[in-house]
Amino acid sequence: MSLALAPIDMNVDLEANLPCRKFDPDLWFSDSPAQLELAKSLCGDCPLRAECLAGAVDRAEPWGVWGGEIFERGAVVPRKRPRGRPRKADVARDAELAVEVEERLAANGLDSRNSVRLAA
């Protein structure tokens, strides 16, 4: 297992107000789908978002929000599901969100077929 990280843009002030440094770190590893969605939204304007996502993909992070994406069992998932059987509407929404995840990964220069396994 490689622990290599994506190169960091040296123009970024590492002491900047990064959301993962400003807010409670448990937010990025919550069991609550709503809190994970909040963490994803906080990552939106982070200057290290692409590097964070690339590092998490490389390390196959087992869980949490990394680079604005939710990881579960080493795979990017569109959203965290609550316990129990999913509703039909949720299954349809997951299919739409999976397409959105693919587009977001492509926008960050990651080819999901080769570098990220999407969980079903």
Whole-model pTM over 0.85: no
Which DSSP category does 14 fall into? Answer: T
**Per-residue model confidence as pLDDT tens digits over 6-47:** 455 555 555 567 888 888 989 999 988 889 999 999 998 888
Under 8 Å between Cβ of 83 and 98: no
* Binding-site entries for [4Fe-4S] cluster: 20, 43, 46, 52
Q: Which residue has the higher pLDDT, 90 or 28?
A: 28
**Per-residue model confidence as pLDDT tens digits over 96-115:** 888 888 888 788 777 654 44
Describe the chain by its helix, strand, coil percentages, rounded to 5: 50, 10, 40
* Binding-site entries: 20, 43, 46, 52
Query: Rg for the chain (alpha carbons), in Å?
Result: 14
Domains of the chain: which residue ranges?
19-108
d(CA 29, CA 41): 14
